[in-house]
Structure 1
Amino acid sequence: MRENYNNQLDALSADLAEICQLAEDAMASGTRALLDADLGLAESTISSREQIDSLAAEWEHKAFSVLALQSPVALDLRIMVSGIHIVADLQRMGGLAIHIAELARRRHPAHVIPVEVECVFAEMGRVAVEQADATRRVLLTRDAELASELRTKDEAMDELHRSLFTLTSSSDWPHGVPTAVDITLLGRFYERFSDHTVEVAKRVIFLVTGEFRTDDA
């Protein structure tokens, strides 16, 4: 009985990793759609929303079914409590990646971002995908050390986000307010995506150690 229960818990962890993979894929394709003004890629990214939302709802249903049918001990409860928060973070990560693709679609055939900031957004996309990949591995392995490392990796994203603000708030910014607003909004999407990977890392550390820290250190 207990072995079957453990198998169910492992399956739930694998399901979280699958949702994370979908969010990672959406970020990669959404960034490429943004940089290339690729309408078809934007559309395919946006279409992933249904699968992400469906898997998230299915995870919650499975989790509550396991809780209802078993007699969970303290660690089991930590897994479920952490998982409920994690699935919300992963779903939001997917949503943020899709928002990037939606903005690319809305401005098509024009490019959303001017040439001056393309390299910044390319790097933001790379960092975000890297963080999502690390998050997926953390979910599969419950590696507290890797989770701790992930909690500090958003510093690179924060620095990139600050560089966008510096560019768009400069007195010699040549592209006007609407473009600056789009860039600010996009930067926020990437920053929040990164923040959610950190939140997942915190939840995994709580799962492993029983301790949850509210700071980002």
Structure 2
Amino acid sequence: MRVAYNEQMTELADLLGEMAGLAGQAMERATQSLLQADLRIAEQVIGDHERITDLSAQAEERAFALLALQAPVAGDLRSVVSGIQIVADIDRMGALALHVAKIARRRHPAHALPEEVNGYFAEMGRIAVALGASAREVLETRDPERAAKLREEDEAMDDLHRHLFSVLMDREWKHGVAAAVDVTLLGRFYERFADHAVEVGRRVIFLVTGELPSDMPTPPAQHVG
């Protein structure tokens, strides 16, 4: 029974790693579609999202099967429950990349972004993709020290998000309300993508150590992502 449990946990971990990789890839392509007003890439992100959804369903099914059939306790139970929570975080990361691609598609053939904020989103996209890769890494290695560093990497995203608002509030903004709404939503999508990657790291720390980092409180539930 123990051998079967270990095999099933390995399969679940592999699924989570694959999901994280796909979410990062989706955000990378979504950013390309946004910056280049590329409809083909946006459609690719939207079409490929079903793969993340399918993997999410598979991962949840396997995790609940472990709970039902293996009756895990103590550390094993912590691993399974953390796995279920991580599935939800990565699923949201994929959905946030999907939202970015949909805005790019909706505004095509025009660019969704005014040229003056392109640099912000190019950098936010780079950080988001790096955080997605880091989340996959910590899922594969289960290294709590590496997982804790995701919060530090997220600080750059938070800084960019704050600076972006200063641009929107500037009296010199001349792109109208619709563009301001798009920029606000897009900035939020990137910020939340990064937050979910950090949360994956937080859950890995709990999975390995049994303790939640004291400086990493659970973020409040929000409908945006």
Shorter chain as denominator, the TM-score bin is over 0.9
Contact 1:30/1:101, CA 8 A, preserved across alignment: yes
**Normalised by the size of structure 2, how large is the TM-score?**
0.93
User: In structure 1, what residue type is equivalent to 2:162?
Assistant: R
The answer to whether the 8 Å contact 1:202/1:212 transfers is: yes
**Counterpart in 1 of 2:12?**
12
Q: In the aligned structure 2, how far is the partner of 1:140 from the partner of 1:99?
A: 27
Aligned to 1:169: 169
State the identity %. 57
Say if 2:30 and 2:101, in contact at 8 Å, map to a contact too.
yes
CA contact (8 A) 2:31 2:100 kept: yes
Alpha-carbon distance in 2 for matches of 1:29, 1:146:
26
Q: CA deviation at 1:131?
A: 0.3
Letter in 1 for 2:11: A
Q: 2:198 maps to which residue?
A: 198
Deviates more, 1:64-73 or 1:185-194: 64-73
How many residue pairs get aligned? The number is 217
Task: Tell me the distance in 1 between the aligned counterparts of 2:33 and 2:168.
Answer: 22
**Residue in 1 that maps onto 2:86:** 86
Q: Give the drift of 1:210.
A: 0.5
What is the CA distance between 1:8 and its match in structure 2? 1.4
User: Match of 1:153?
Assistant: 153
Q: Contact 1:27/1:94 (CA < 8 Å) preserved in 2? A: yes
| 1:85 CA displacement | 0.8
Distance 1:105 1:186 in 2: 13
Which residue of structure 1 lines up, in the alignment, with residue 223 of structure 2?
A: none
Map 1:1-217 → 2, pairs under 5 A: 1-213=1-213, 215-216=215-216
Alignment-mate amino acid for residue 23 of structure 1? A
**Please, which moves more after superposition, 46-55 or 105-114?**
46-55
CA distance in structure 2 between the aligned counterparts of 1:88 and 1:158, rounded to whole angstroms: 22
Cα deviation 1:145-188 (Å, max 9, x = unaligned):
00010122111000111111011110111212211111011000
CA contact (8 A) 1:152 1:216 kept: no
Letter in 2 for 1:146: R
TM (norm. structure 1) is: 0.97
Bigger drift between 142-151 and 72-81 goes to 72-81
Equivalent pair of 1:147/1:204 in contact (CA under 8 Å): yes
Which ranges of structure 2 fall in alignment gaps of 5 or more residues?
218-225
**4+ residue segments displaced more than 4 Å:** none
> Are the counterparts in 2 of residues 112 and 182 from structure 1 also a CA contact under 8 Å?
yes
- How far the C-alpha of 1:213 sits from its partner, in A, is 3.8
| Equivalence for 2:221 | none
Q: Higher mean Cα deviation, 119-128 or 58-67?
A: 58-67
Q: d(CA) in 1 for partners of 2:48 and 2:205?
A: 29
Structure 2 counterpart of 1:88, one-letter code:
A
* Structure 1, unpaired ranges of 5+: none
SS in 2 for 1:211: coil
